[in-house]
C-alpha cells in the first residue's frame, strides 16, 4: 500500500512540474511581447525625461504642482515626458506635458489595488505592463534624464536602480534630479552619515551623480547643460 501511495504522489508531482514548465514557457512569450510592444511604440519617440513620484499625491499638494511645472518646462525645452501612467505625481507629469502639447508617455503597471492610467497620456503612447522588470527596462532605455519627486517604495526602487546602473557603468551617465529638499534630506543625511562615513559602502563622489533642488529652472538648466555636446540617444540598445 505504501508503494502505491508513493507512485501516486510521484505521478502527481510529475504532472504539476509539467504544468509549471508549460506556464514558464508561456511567461517567456508574454515577457517578449511586452518588450516588443514597448520598443515598437517608443523607438522613434525622441528625447524624453522620466518623472517619478507617489501615486497618492493629490492635485492640491505642492509637489503635484511642482511636477506639473517641471513637466511643462521640459516640454518647452524639447523633451517628452515619461511617467508610470498612474495618478498622483505621474498624472501631474503627464498633465504638464499635455499642457504644452508635448509628448506624454505612460508606462502603466497592472496592480490589484490601484486604478488605471490617468487621462493625460497620448493615446498612442500608453503601454501596459504586467512585469515590473520589463517596465523598468523601458523607463531607463527611453529616458535621457530622471526627475524624482516625493514618493514611496516604488520611487525609491526606481531611484536606486538608476543610480546603481550609472555607478556600475551599465548605462551612460544621465542627469538625475531629486526635487523636494525637505523630503530627500533625511535619506541624504543617512547616506552620508551611515552608508558613507560609518560603513564606507559608497564613495563620496557618488553624491555628484544627482542634483537636489526645489527650483524648476535649476533642474532644467542642469539637464540642458549636461547634454551640451552629448548625444541624446537611448541609453542602451
| pLDDT (tens digit per residue) in 108-130 | 987 766 567 899 999 889 998 88
Q: Residue 169: CA atoms inside 13 Å, Cβ hemisphere, count? A: 0
Q: For residue 186, what is the domain's CATH number?
A: 3.40.50.450
**Region 70-80 average pLDDT:** 97
Phi, psi angle pair for 55, to nearest 5°: -75, -10
| Integer Rg of the chain from CA | 21
Cα separation, 102 vs 96, whole angstroms: 9
CB 89 within 8 A of CB 179: no
77 and 160 in a common domain:
yes
Q: Using alpha carbons, list the distances in angstroms from residue 28 to 67, 99, 138, 187.
A: 36, 39, 17, 37
Question: Cα–Cα distance between 107 and 128 in angstroms, integer?
Answer: 6
**Share of residues in the chain with pLDDT > 70 (%):** 85
Query: Do 187 and 82 sit in the same domain of this protein?
Result: yes
- Same domain as 50, residue 40: no
Residue 237 in any domain: the answer is no
As a whole number of angstroms, the distance between CA 93 and CA 189 comes to 28
**Mean pLDDT, residues 129-153 taken together:** 93
Whether 85 and 121 have beta carbons less than 8 Å apart is answered as: yes
**What confidence tier does 237 reach under pLDDT thresholds 50, 70, 90?**
very low
For residues 71 and 94, the answer to whether their CB atoms sit within 8 Å is: yes
pLDDT band at residue 10, thresholds of 50, 70 and 90? low
Q: How many domains, in total, are found in the chain?
A: 2
Residue range(s) defining the domain that contains residue 86? 46-226
231: left (phi over 0), alpha (psi -120 to 50) or beta: beta
Per-residue burial over 208-230, b = 16 or more CB atoms within 10 Å of its CB, e = otherwise: eebbbbeebeebbebbeebbeee
| Burial degree of 153 (CB within 10 A; 0-12, 13-18, 19+) | exposed
184 with 209, same domain: the answer is yes
In a domain, 5, yes or no: yes
Amino acid at each position: 500500500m505504501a508503494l502505491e501511495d508513493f507512485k501516486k504522489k510521484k505521478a502527481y508531482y510529475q504532472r504539476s512540474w509539467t504544468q509549471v514548465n508549460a506556464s514558464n514557457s508561456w511567461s517567456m512569450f508574454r515577457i517578449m511581447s511586452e518588450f516588443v510592444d514597448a520598443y515598437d511604440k517608443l523607438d522613434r519617440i525622441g528625447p524624453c525625461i522620466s518623472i517619478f513620484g507617489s501615486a497618492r499625491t493629490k492635485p492640491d499638494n505642492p509637489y503635484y504642482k511642482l511636477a506639473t511645472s517641471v513637466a511643462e518646462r521640459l516640454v518647452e525645452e524639447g523633451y517628452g515626458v515619461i511617467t508610470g501612467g498612474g495618478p498622483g505625481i505621474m498624472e501631474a507629469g503627464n498633465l504638464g506635458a499635455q499642457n504644452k502639447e508635448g509628448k506624454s508617455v505612460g508606462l502603466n503597471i497592472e496592480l490589484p489595488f490601484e486604478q488605471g492610467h490617468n487621462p493625460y497620456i497620448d493615446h498612442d503612447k500608453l503601454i501596459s505592463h504586467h512585469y515590473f522588470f520589463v517596465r523598468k527596462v523601458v523607463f531607463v532605455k527611453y529616458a535621457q534624464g530622471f526627475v524624482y519627486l516625493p514618493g514611496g517604495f516604488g520611487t525609491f526602487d526606481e531611484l536606486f536602480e538608476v543610480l546603481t546602473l550609472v555607478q556600475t557603468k551599465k548605462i551612460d551617465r544621465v542627469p538625475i534630479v531629486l526635487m523636494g529638499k525637505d523630503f530627500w534630506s533625511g535619506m541624504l543625511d543617512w547616506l552620508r552619515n551611515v552608508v558613507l562615513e560609518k560603513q564606507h559602502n559608497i564613495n563620496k563622489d557618488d553624491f555628484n551623480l544627482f542634483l537636489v533642488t526645489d527650483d524648476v529652472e535649476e533642474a532644467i538648466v542642469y539637464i540642458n547643460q549636461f547634454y551640451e555636446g552629448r548625444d541624446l540617444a537611448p541609453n542602451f540598445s
